[in-house]
């Protein structure tokens, strides 16, 4: 499954693995792909520095990348108190009443913090600063092109920049802004998604830009990877599938919920951040679509509104209420397996598929 991107980035297979876990990211890189560590959960630059130092020790010298979240429209950066005063009391009441109804206990005295702040530009910039002190081989950005000065700095360090796109128009804009690799992420993907399915989006973006395009959204097998390459992609970018690997130890509760889910058990909703994102459908997501539930707030207010709820849910021990981004490919995620095994299976099935296709009549 080699493409020219492999030589450019020094990887064996063009399998890019987005993950919030440094353990999973390192395992993906060791298995010959490119592990890409999601930085958004690191509020403190020192914590990210420690995670990357750990990766430097545990990737066996193989390349890895990072992913930052710099929304194209800069959310107002004030203190959390300023922003939270913009949240209607009725929304706060709804969250409290819903948690009570779902049986999610309050946090123990003294627990709970400020929630995830990595989407603030000041924090995301600190992620870039820290990442550039490590031997990273790629920086990806989630919600738009990174600002021009960030792209320039990353390029000056000899590191290519990738950006996610849900429309051909986004991809064209990224390339005009200096982005080197476009991740064409379809509707079925976990996390923030647009409205165009991977099958339609990938060839549209491949035709629209003259840089390598990675296919994302709905990929969890060699057949799906082969389909992505048939659509013109230079590699695959997977996020959900790594959540049920043995190395993902951040949340056994979430893993339990994911293993039980079918491909119909996801929902695209604004309740996670204020922008449409695909999540596992649970009693928490369902509560937001009941009659009388409020409209989610715009980013970043929704992040702040549900931040404490997410911490309470994570601590609750109840898989039926988890709040977790995951794509429709969750239906294939039926057992916990080591990353190396997932990668080996994907590559084996990819090889078999390509061979089968080569044997078909034209």
Residue 312 beta carbon to ligand FMN: minimum distance, rounded to whole angstroms: 19
Q: How far, in Å, are 114, 168, 175, 220, 302 from residue 182 at the CA level?
A: 32, 10, 8, 19, 28
Of residues 116, 216, 321, 322, which one binds ligand FMN by CB under 6 A? 216
Minimum distance from residue 255 beta carbon to ligand FMN (Å): 12
CB of 55 within 8 A of CB of 37?
yes
Toward ligand FMN, which CB reaches closer, 169 or 355? 169
Taking CB under 6 A as the binding criterion, the range among 266-274, 297-305, 313-321, 325-333 that sits at the site for ligand FMN is 325-333
Contacts with ligand FMN, 70-109, as mask; x by CB under 6 A: ----------------------------------------
Q: What residues are paired with 215 via a beta bridge?
A: 184, 236
Spell 320-330 as b/e; 16+ CB within 10 A means b: ebbbbbbbbbb
- Is there binding between residue 302 and ligand FMN (CB under 6 A)? no
Residue 142 binds ligand FMN (CB under 6 A): yes
Q: Shortest gap between Cβ of 336 and ligand FMN (angstroms)?
A: 16
Contact call for residue 238 and ligand FMN (CB under 6 A)? yes
Least CB distance to ligand FMN at residue 93 (A): 28
Question: What is 129-187 written as a DSSP string?
Answer: HHHTTTT-S-EEESSSPPPHHHHHHHHHTT--EEEEESSHHHHHHHHHTT-SEEEEE-T
- Does 261 participate in binding ligand FMN (rule CB under 6 A)? no
Residue 330 CB, nearest approach to ligand FMN (Å): 8
Instruction: Tell me 200's DSSP state.
Output: H
Stretch that binds ligand FMN, among 102-110, 186-194, 287-295, 308-316 (CB under 6 A): 186-194
Contacts of 355 (CB under 8 A, 6+ apart): none
Of 27-35, 130-138, 324-332, 341-349, the window that binds ligand FMN (rule: CB under 6 A) is 324-332
Cβ partners under 8 Å of residue 257, min gap 6:
280, 282, 319, 320, 322, 324
Peptide bond before residue 7 is cis, with ω within 30 degrees of 0: no
Q: 161: which strand partners? A: 139
- Kindly identify the residues of this chain, within the stretch 25-64, that bind ligand FMN according to CB under 6 A: 38, 40
Comparing CA positions, the residue from 185, 237, 228 lying closest to residue 350 is: 228
69 binds ligand FMN (CB under 6 A): yes
Binding of ligand FMN by 219 (CB under 6 A): yes
Largest CA distance in the chain: 68
> What is the rounded end-to-end Cα distance, in angstroms, of the chain?
22
Q: How far is the CB of 286 from ligand FMN (least distance, A)?
A: 19
Nearer to ligand FMN among residue 140 and residue 261 (C-beta): 140
Q: Among residues 131, 327, 343, 346, which is the contact residue for ligand FMN, using CB under 6 A?
A: 327
Binding piece for ligand FMN, criterion CB under 6 A, among 106-114, 146-154, 213-221, 350-358: 213-221
User: What minimum distance in Å lies between the beta carbon of 292 and ligand FMN?
Assistant: 29
Q: What are phi and psi of 100, to 5 degrees?
A: -65, -45
Task: Assign 191 to helix, strand or coil.
Answer: strand
Other CB atoms within 10 Å distance of the CB of residue 250? 16
- Interacting residues with ligand FMN between 145 and 164 (CB under 6 A): 164
Of 218, 222, 276, 300, which one interacts with ligand FMN (CB under 6 A)? 218
User: Is the Cβ of residue 91 or residue 189 nearer to ligand FMN in the bound state?
Assistant: 189
φ, ψ at 13 (rounded to 5°):
-130, 140
Of 117, 151, 109, 141, nearest to 47 by C-alpha is: 117
Q: Does 191 bind ligand FMN (CB under 6 A)?
A: yes
Residues interacting with ligand FMN, by CB under 6 A? 18, 38, 40, 67, 69, 140, 142, 164, 185, 188-191, 216-219, 237-241, 325-327, 329
């Amino acid at each position: 499954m080699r493409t020219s991107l492999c030589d450019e980035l020094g990887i064996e297979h063009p399998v890019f693995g987005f993950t919030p876990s440094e353990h999973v990211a390192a395992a993906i890189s060791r298995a010959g792909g490119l592990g890409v560590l999601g930085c958004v959960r690191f509020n403190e630059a020192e914590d990210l520095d420690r995670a990357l130092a750990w990766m430097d020790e545990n990737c066996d010298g193989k390349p890895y990348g990072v992913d930052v979240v710099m929304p194209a429209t800069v959310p107002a950066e004030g203190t959390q108190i300023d922003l939270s005063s913009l949240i209607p009391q009725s929304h706060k009441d709804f969250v409290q009443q819903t948690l009570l109804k779902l049986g999610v206990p309050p946090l123990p005295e003294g627990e709970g913090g400020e929630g995830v702040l990595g989407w603030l530009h000041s924090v995301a910039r600190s992620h870039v600063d820290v990442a550039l002190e490590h031997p990273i081989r790629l920086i990806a950005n989630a919600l738009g092109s990174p600002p021009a000065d960030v792209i320039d700095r990353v390029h000056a360090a000899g590191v290519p920049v990738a950006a996610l796109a849900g429309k051909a128009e986004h991809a064209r804009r990224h390339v005009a802004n200096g982005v080197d690799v476009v991740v064409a992420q379809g509707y079925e993907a976990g996390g923030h998604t647009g409205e165009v399915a991977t099958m339609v989006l990938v060839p549209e973006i491949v035709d629209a830009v003259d840089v390598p395009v990675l296919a994302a959204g709905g990929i969890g097998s060699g057949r799906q990877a082969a389909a992505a390459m048939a659509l013109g992609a230079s590699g695959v970018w997977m996020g959900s599938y790594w959540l049920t690997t043995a190395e993902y130890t951040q949340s056994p509760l979430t893993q339990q919920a994911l293993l039980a889910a079918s491909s119909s058990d996801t929902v695209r909703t604004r309740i996670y951040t204020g922008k449409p994102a695909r999540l596992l459908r649970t009693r928490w997501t369902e509560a937001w679509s009941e009659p009388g539930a409020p409209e989610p707030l715009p980013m970043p207010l929704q992040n702040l509104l549900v931040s404490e709820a997410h911490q309470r849910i994570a601590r609750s021990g109840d898989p039926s209420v988890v709040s977790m981004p995951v794509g429709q490919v969750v239906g294939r995620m039926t057992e916990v397996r080591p990353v190396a095994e997932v990668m080996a299976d994907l590559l084996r099935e990819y090889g078999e598929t390509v061979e089968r296709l080569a044997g078909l009549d034209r």
